[in-house]
Amino acid sequence: MKVKRYIAKDVQEAMIKVKSELGRDAIILHTRKIKKPGLTGLFKKPLFEVVAAVDTNKKDDNKLSYPLNQNLFNESLIKNSKALDSNTYDSFNINNEISSIKSLLTNVLSKMDSTPSSQNIQVLEKYEKVFKEENVIKPVIDKILSIVSRQMSITDKNDQSIRNAIKIILKDYLGSPFTMENYTKKQNVIFFVGPTGVGKTTTIAKLAAKQTIMNNKSVAFITSDTYRIAAVDQLKTYSEILDVPFTVVYEPNELGGAIEKHYDKDFIFIDTAGRNHKNKELLLEIKSLISTVESPIVFLLLSLTTGYKDIESIIQSYDFLDDYNLIFTKADESSSLGNILNAKFLSSMPLSYITTGQSVPDDIELIDIEKIVNSLVGD
């Protein structure tokens, strides 16, 4: 068995040296941080000492150079113990050697299992606090930070690299926004659902204005919100301003005919009456309305001024929908973005638009994941 000591500026560099000199069968016996000798060394970054060994009687057999997990570690031990059997050592020495290697390796492996250092724990705690202030719920915080923590190597990372890791994980978690530009079907029938006063009718007007004015698309409005006279008038007014045809449906079975009437339009936006999400009967009406349409697109609107408990119960009450996209409204009136993360966690549905005021059509944008993530980590 050949045993060699390596000094490098970090563990990765040491591993490369080990691998290139001792080959793929090398096992790590010991690793530690050391200071450069002399007074000046005290002020320099620490170096890493790695002690590695390889069984010189064995040929390279494409195994990893260092065990990344317990299975590889055990395989490596078994291989080495077989190799040692054929040597001149007596079995007592072999067993002693194996158990000392095992304890050293367990020690190294436990560090490589990326138990965060105290410095890393401090940084993680800092972000836990930041997320809590944004009203992100604990399971989401735990999920994000546990991924970050798993990705930390035994080398200490600085705040900036942890922040970057968190940003990458958050972006991945929130996914790509779902935009109306993705709707490439000949005709797209889009329902807008959500609690009373969340901003459904206003959002329809904003999106319709963008599609007609900026994208040169044709749009029709249908409303099933006949509970309030004012609700019909509201959408009718927008239809007149935007010069968009408008139809009222009183029963779900009238919807098919209304859609057919607007067969030549690229988009049909269907406004629904705001529903108290605790009223199951009213929600069933929405369900039966949507079920009359083949491959409908649904937007569920949530206001960012709504507290987490209500967001949770709204999302639960719409779980009869197989598929929908999320629009967040009233970002201008909210001081935290945590519910965007929470809603994603609870629904797993794509994020889509965010509205930022009452002005039609300006106060709406495709959700900018980068912006949200930067804001969440305080960039």
Ligand X SMILES: Nc1nc2c(ncn2[C@@H]2O[C@H](COP(=O)(O)OP(=O)(O)OP(=O)(O)O)[C@@H](O)[C@H]2O)c(=O)[nH]1
Interface positions with Mg ion (CB under 5 A): 200-201
Identify the residue among 202, 212, 247, 334 touching ligand X (CB under 6 A): 202
On whether the CB atoms of residues 17 and 6 are closer than 8 A, the answer is yes
The smaller minimum CB distance to Mg ion, of residues 95 and 276, is found at 276
Query: Exactly one of 157, 200, 265, 344 binds ligand X (CB under 6 A); which one?
Result: 200
Residue list 349-378, contact with ligand X (CB under 6 A): 355-358, 363
Q: Which is nearer to Mg ion, 177 or 195 (CB)?
A: 195
Number of residues that bind ligand X (CB under 6 A): 19
- Residue 195 — φ and ψ, nearest 5°? -65, 165
**Taking a C-beta distance cutoff of 8 angstroms, is the pair 84, 60 a contact?**
no
Which stretch, 39-47, 120-128, 166-174, 194-202, contacts ligand X (CB under 6 A)? 194-202
The full length of the chain comes to 379
The Cβ of residue 17 has, within 10 Å, a number of other Cβ atoms equal to 15
Amino acid (one-letter) located at 44: K
Which of 41, 175, 197, 256 forms a contact with ligand X (CB under 6 A)?
197
Q: What b/e readout covers 27-40, taking b as 16+ CB neighbours within 10 angstroms?
A: bbbbbeeeeeeeee
Task: Spell out the long-range contacts of 156-160 with Cβ–Cβ below 8 A and sequence spacing 24 or more.
Answer: 156/117, 156/119, 156/120, 157/120, 157/123, 159/123, 159/126
Considering the rule CB under 6 A, would residue 333 count as an interface residue with ligand X? yes
By beta carbon distance, the residue nearest ligand X is: 274
Q: Which does 198 bind (CB under 5 to 8 A by kind): ligand X, Mg ion, none?
A: ligand X
Residue selected from 49, 128, 254, 332 as contacting ligand X according to rule CB under 6 A? 332
Q: Which is nearer to ligand X, 231 or 297 (CB)?
A: 231
Which 213-252 positions form the footprint of ligand X (CB under 6 A)? 225, 231
8 Å CB contact between 221 and 238: yes
Please write down the HEC assignment for all residues of 137-163.
CHHHHHHHHHHHHHHCCCCCCCHHHHH
CB of 174 to Mg ion, least distance (A): 28
**Nearest distance, CB of residue 333 and ligand X, angstroms:** 5
- Closest to 155 measured CA to CA, from 15, 251, 326, 61: 15
Binding site residues, ligand X, CB under 6 A:
196-202, 225, 231, 274, 329-330, 332-333, 355-358, 363
